[in-house]
């Protein structure tokens, strides 16, 4: 194990996959200048020993980036593209929803769309409504797309390597606060399978079903709950499509209670799908109704005070669990 930042762990994953497979390449805005929108590609050139032939700068056109990636993937390449912010995705919905997601099916498997769409998302201080949405529920609704939400450096590296090797288009959603976080990362080549959730903390009283940045917040909440005598199990979904229903249901049947939390708005969020699945398939095991936590149904404001009202924090989870247990 080595301690690495999320940025460095995912850069390492990219460099390893580009060295392993010459069909892998990266496209992003300002890639050779500031290292992409969040500077999270700085250092990739050095990891590639100065070879930038597979690092392509793009114009400021999400439509051009995605359509180029779809064409390259259908031609046998494996592009990794960067959307700078997940809020840029609506500009290229036709390319993602009608082309990337459906081409393999419509052509009887003759054309594979092996591409990774990296999408930094989530609330970061004073970025306003145009740069803070969490849109995972949109893409989890589309057959043919795989939706991945890593939670820490080790998960980011292993899931990104799996995404690059995957023969399907992958929406890779990374909370912007993750890039500077640090954690232990296994050495050497490793991948993390899609559709297999991780039990981040075992417990017996309630299951916290979370993904992405909410995993660490749920772990913080679990420590507070432990001091109150409540033993919470934290389940890191890793991927929303494919979804590991078996692990979710096994955990809820053990604890009898479930709290689903995400930073996306609660209304129409992926938490609704999770809650429905638990209620339909583990109803007889539930000791209380499933609780959903999410942001209010408003565009994220730029005012720090109002922005704070939209965050889903450990204390929100603690409060929900305590009310449920009561």
Q: Residue 310 — φ and ψ, nearest 5°?
A: -95, -10
Instruction: For CA atoms 183, 12, 147, 58, give the dihedral sign.
Output: positive
Closest by Cα among 42, 57, 58, 53 to 8:
42
Closest by Cα among 298, 323, 321, 292 to 310:
298
Cα of first residue to Cα of last residue in the chain, in angstroms, is: 41
Closest by Cα among 256, 250, 281 to 204:
256
Euclidean distance between CA atoms 143 and 105, whole angstroms = 10
Which residues are designated catalytic? Answer: 62, 131
3-state secondary structure 56-81: EEECCCHHHHHHHHHHHHHCCCEEEE
């Amino acid at each position: 194990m080595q301690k690495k930042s999320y940025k460095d762990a995912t850069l390492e994953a990219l460099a390893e996959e580009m060295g392993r497979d010459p069909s892998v390449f990266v496209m992003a805005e300002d890639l050779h200048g500031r290292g992409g929108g969040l500077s999270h590609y700085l250092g990739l050139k050095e990891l590639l020993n100065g070879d930038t032939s597979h690092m392509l700068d793009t114009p400021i056109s999400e439509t051009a980036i995605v359509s180029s990636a779809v064409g390259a993937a259908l031609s046998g390449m494996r592009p990794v593209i960067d959307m700078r912010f997940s809020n840029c995705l609506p500009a290229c919905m036709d390319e993602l929803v009608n082309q990337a997601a459906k081409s393999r099916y419509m052509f009887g498997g003759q054309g594979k769309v092996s591409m990774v769409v990296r999408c930094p998302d989530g609330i970061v201080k004073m970025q306003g409504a145009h740069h803070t949405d969490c849109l995972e529920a949109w893409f989890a609704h589309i057959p043919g797309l795989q939706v991945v939400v890593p939670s820490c450096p080790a998960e980011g590296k292993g899931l990104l390597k799996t995404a690059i090797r995957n023969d399907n288009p992958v929406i890779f959603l990374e909370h912007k606060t993750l890039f500077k976080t640090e954690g232990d990362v296994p050495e050497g080549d490793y991948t993390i399978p899609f559709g297999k959730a991780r039990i981040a903390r075992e417990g017996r009283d309630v299951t916290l079903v979370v993904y992405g940045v909410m995993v660490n917040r749920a772990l913080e909440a679990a420590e507070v709950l432990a001091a109150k005598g409540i033993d919470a199990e934290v389940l890191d979904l890793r991927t929303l499509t494919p979804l590991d229903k078996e692990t979710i249901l096994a955990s809820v049947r053990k604890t009898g209670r479930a709290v689903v939390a995400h930073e996306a708005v609660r209304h129409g969020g992926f938490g609704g799908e999770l809650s429905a699945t638990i209620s339909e398939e583990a109803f007889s095991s539930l000791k209380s109704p499933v609780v959903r936590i999410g942001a209010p149904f408003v565009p994220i404001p730029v005012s720090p005070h109002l922005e704070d009202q939209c965050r889903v924090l450990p204390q929100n989870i603690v409060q929900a669990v305590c009310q449920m247990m009561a």
